[in-house]
Structure 1
């Protein structure tokens, strides 16, 4: 295992420009002191997500359609049939969530027909398919705005971040699974009990937790709280961090109520004029966007990776979930290129992947933040 110990003292940086209404401009904050970055393994190709097994080893998905097992710094391909993965553009093998006990895991990926969730059982370095957990999530043939990140909630349900596949009507259409955060039963794939539209006659609507999203990249649960946050790509402005509220509309509508064809990205990320009850973001990037990606809680802060921005953003939140300030650790600011996955390990460290396309890294973060 190779280790890279980064510098200790860094300068404070502001995270963004002033957001649109609904976000909040964070104050400057001191960057972390004593942050350490360890390179656990390399040689990945677009490392997209990761998950931890009981023995401390790590599963890593690669967007072209391969799954790797990292144990003691050694990388081993998992023997798994993923021949139906369609890797094109932003799509391919994407999200991963490991079920309790570590014997099963669920992958999210594009096929020629859809984006789907598939559950597998792991035995050593061999994985066999258990079931298609959820099929029929919309997919763009180009791969654009595919989502797709599954995460297990403390109550055992599975939340799934989806993209709108750059189809204007999807975000506001509650019969479509695109541009949503879903909440499903982790065993059946059906809408979970207590969902806001669980009484609907439409099976897709029963699965919806929130809607009106563009391309959600991460969902995370705040420890010791009932708060759920998402991280989402904006168009030319306004990446968003959102505090999710059951049944909430987050205001993205590139079809302008079905009056516009195509995909009008000039509309606001949270259109409070069209949807006065839309839920404002707790943070917006303004311009330029960072292409924020996955989110994880780490040492009391909300850590969010950035692809285009090539950095890690650390959000300090108050008890209500309002952003107080944002810091950007210099150790990860344009040092490793595009950062994608972020998951908090059982030992309290934070694991990240880079997503530059060749020789991508699995990183482990420890220290004070």
Structure 2
């Protein structure tokens, strides 16, 4: 296993003595013991997300607007009307979350007008639309920065990671749903009770949990704690892992306070000069970026997939959520190409998808780290 840590703006070997941001030199990560990667199923196209059903099936969304069920290695298409999905660039059918009743799932996708959350009821291999849960999330005609992944939190709310669609004003505009982490009621789509801006007269602002993000790829909850983490794409530098705080501004502002009409990606991911109270990342990739994607807690570590980096990153955290070290299992280091989805299964295994375009796989990772 290769061990990596973030030090300043550079990703360096964990055996080096350079301290990570915060001044504490992390220890080298221990080598894994008996990690095994099983190829559960294959033949997917841009497998984007996955969820688990009560009968042991795995629900997999594919960006080209198809849904598959995987059970005992067999892949079965789901009969579902997704004719309103617009597949373009980074956009299409994206994140999915299975509801606690095991009969409904909510998917996020691009239409010709917006990015939206839609709830379906699944019976066998047929899914029927129940409702548009949340519409009006901003959409880019090119599909750029259309990241959208819902996750159900331990508090019962649905947390939604969104991209800023590469429009400079969106991240800092709390009335705009792009470049945010949303926290909504999974039945109504309205802002969940206890949200930081729940007294706002604007319905969108009431849905916002945190803002000032670029292109959030997922939210995950640390077991037996109140900590929620997000994983986020940086521009040419500084992918981020963030510990989420209610009402927190994470400092991405390509419009530079509205003074720039375009999308200035030379600004810092967390601009502490413009926003002194912005929340710093607990980890930053520096240069080059890994294009980190979805996060899951597995075997006590924070596991995050990487698209460009073609690897799995395993973060060891202290009790406060600070990163102590980052390690890369050799079994997944540039062995399967781009890795996108990551969710911990009911069997305790870590399930991943590759996202190379064609012939993508559903992987199952077991063992100890």
Taking structure 1 as the reference length, the TM-score comes to: 0.95
Q: Which has the higher strand share?
A: 2
Give the match for residue 13 of structure 2: none
Q: Is the 8 A contact 2:138 2:178 kept in 1?
A: yes
The DSSP-based 3-state class of the residue aligned with 1:367 is strand
Q: Larger deviation: 46-55 or 23-32?
A: 23-32
Q: Deviations over 1:267-320 (max 9, x none)?
A: 000000000000000000000000000000001000000000000000000000
CA drift of 1:363 comes to 0.1
CA drift of 1:349 comes to 0.4
Aligned residues: 359
Tell me: CA distance 1:23–1:195, structure 2 relative to 1, closer, same or farther (3 Å).
Answer: farther
Give the match for residue 5 of structure 1: none
Where in structure 1 are there 5+ consecutive unaligned residues?
Answer: 1-10
Give the match for residue 186 of structure 1: 186
Q: Choose from 13, 23, 38 the match for 2:3.
A: 13
Tell me: CA distance 1:330–1:229, structure 2 relative to 1, closer, same or farther (3 Å).
Answer: same
Distance in 2 between residues matched to 1:309 and 1:27, nearest whole Å: 23
Q: Deviations over 1:43-65 (max 9, x none)?
A: 00000000000011100000010
Taking structure 2 as the reference length, the TM-score comes to: 0.95
2:355 matches 1:364: no
The DSSP-based 3-state class of the residue aligned with 1:315 is strand
Give the match for residue 166 of structure 2: 166
Distance in 2 between residues matched to 1:270 and 1:332, nearest whole Å: 30
Distance in 1 between residues matched to 2:28 and 2:253, nearest whole Å: 32
Q: Is the 8 A contact 2:5 2:20 kept in 1?
A: no
2:259 matches 1:259: yes
**Alignment root-mean-square deviation, CA:** 1.3
Give the match for residue 16 of structure 2: none
The DSSP-based 3-state class of the residue aligned with 2:196 is coil
Extract structure 1 runs of 4+ deviating beyond 6 A: none
Distance in 2 between residues matched to 1:85 and 1:227, nearest whole Å: 34
CA drift of 1:22 comes to 9.5
CA drift of 1:29 comes to 1.5
CA drift of 1:28 comes to 3.2
CA drift of 1:128 comes to 0.2
Give the match for residue 40 of structure 2: 40
The DSSP-based 3-state class of the residue aligned with 1:164 is coil
Q: Is the 8 A contact 2:227 2:243 kept in 1?
A: yes
The DSSP-based 3-state class of the residue aligned with 1:97 is strand
